[in-house]
Structure 1
């Protein structure tokens, strides 16, 4: 068969912009494609909600790709291994309550299951701002302001585009980029002890793993934090290459938002 480059180009443009137009109004927009964001995306899309995930980098998966120091295995605990087993990732018992899994298998499988469940993924796309509205006297985030990552990296003055969403999951990890923008540009208080971003503390895996799940919650009307962004928002510790808390955080935030969407309480 003779190949026509123009038809190839037309196919890419047609399909991409159809996907883009479908995502101008969402149930849930997830910012950050690490393990918590991907787990939440998979669970919410599987339940039938309209979900899109925005990742600044070319590849999704966050820090899970590299395991510990590029040694590409991760550790999960007894209570979280079901989330890997559910998507078909082999999990091996190591000792006591510790289990290991291949980091590349975890990342690629989780990303695949999220996409196949219906999540629309936009990589190389940055979130540079949010849409803020006052609803019944309460300020609420109800959209994202997005731009091409290459535009951001090059520092070009190119105006962004906007989409609307019922909920946002801030899953950008240590940097909490969405919340930093929200706080910097607006006179608002977060639902944290100080009303601002508390900041991440140093390594303490035991406490960090527990707090990753505990701190997964609404941090501002319309915005939930998950994964390491939850600990950075509420002032807890980092945990390194143990990923059980990340997975459980994604499971928790998906369940909470799904409950609100079902009840119409938003």
Structure 2
């Protein structure tokens, strides 16, 4: 009987394969626990930011607590396989990723959200970003307090259900910058607010739906929360009580680009010992 694989590989038993998996996993983990940028949230915003930062040679890790990309099956009205994107900067970014655009209304295009998300993700990975799914943020790593507070990474753990969560220690991820792109969870900012009440920051939640105001607010308010921590995408709405936008992804993509530009500028300024204006 013919085999589709080289006959020579049959000399490896399951123990050999397990050793290879463990060895390469440890090598990869050693690489991704110390990065330039930790992007939390593998949706349109987070993946766009990760792609553009990786293109600029920053070492990027994306984590998401789901075992699928954050927008797979989401970001659509009543789980229909359609999302909308506005003409302009967002469409230009979409074209750069190869996302297919279909006609809709004047100035508004229709996209398949799963295709769009996957194509941005592939761009990010091809540019050098790393993706680690099934990982949740358990805490933040900080230095200083009050006005001196700086976020320097996060403590992560498996997002899979465990019988004894208390006995599972998290792993450190050291990062020069952390981007909260967790949509309405806004989990990184919420964790920081809980652990550092002295910064007197609140997360009031998103306001009611008002699509065009919301799109504008999300983009305008994307940026630094405290040194080392940035907020983008729908997390912006949650933090600043901006209006909900629904199944439009243009603002999310532009927000991802904006935060990538600011993070890149700030990290380069820090490397030169100067202060960036963002």
TM norm structure 2: 0.88
Mapped partners of 1:152, 1:219: distance in 2: 32
Match of residue 251, structure 1, among 253, 257, 263? 257
1:229 aligns to 2:229 (yes or no): no
- SS across alignment from 2:160: helix
Equivalent residue for 2:32? 23
Q: 2:95 aligns with which of 63, 85, 91?
A: 85
Which digits, 9 at most, give the CA deviation of each residue in 1:104-163, with x for residues without a partner? 210111111111111111111111000111289611111111111125686342111112
- 1:59 maps to what in 2? 68
**Unaligned ranges ≥5, structure 2:** 1-6
Show the counterpart of 2:247: 241
Higher Cα Rg: structure 1 or 2?
2
The correspondence of residues 1-266 of structure 1 with structure 2, limited to 5 A, is 1=7, 2=10, 4-62=13-71, 65=74, 67-79=76-88, 80-134=90-144, 138-150=148-160, 155-189=165-199, 195-264=201-270, 265=274
Following the alignment from structure 1 to structure 2, what is the Cα–Cα distance between the partners of residues 171 and 152?
25
Q: Which runs of 4+ in 1 moved over 3 A?
A: 63-66, 151-156
Kept in 1: contact 2:73–2:79 (CA 8 A)? no
**Is the 1:203–1:240 contact (alpha carbons within 8 Å) kept by the matching residues of 2?**
yes
SS where residue 197 of structure 2 aligns? Answer: coil
Q: CA-to-partner distance for each residue in 1:224-253, whole Å, 9 max, x for gaps?
A: 001000111111011111100000000000
Aligned residue for 1:94, secondary structure, equals: strand
Q: How many residues are matched?
A: 262
Question: C-alpha deviations, 1:168-199, integer Å up to 9, x for none?
Answer: 00011101111111111223326xxxx32232
User: What is the RMSD computed on CA atoms of the aligned residues?
Assistant: 2.0
Whole-angstrom distance in 1 between the partners of 2:223 and 2:16: 46
- Asked if 2 retains the 8 angstrom alpha-carbon contact of 1:34 and 1:60, the reply is yes
Q: Normalised by the size of structure 1, how large is the TM-score?
A: 0.92
Native 8 Å contact 1:126 1:152 kept in 2? no
Q: Is the 8 A contact 2:38 2:61 kept in 1?
A: yes
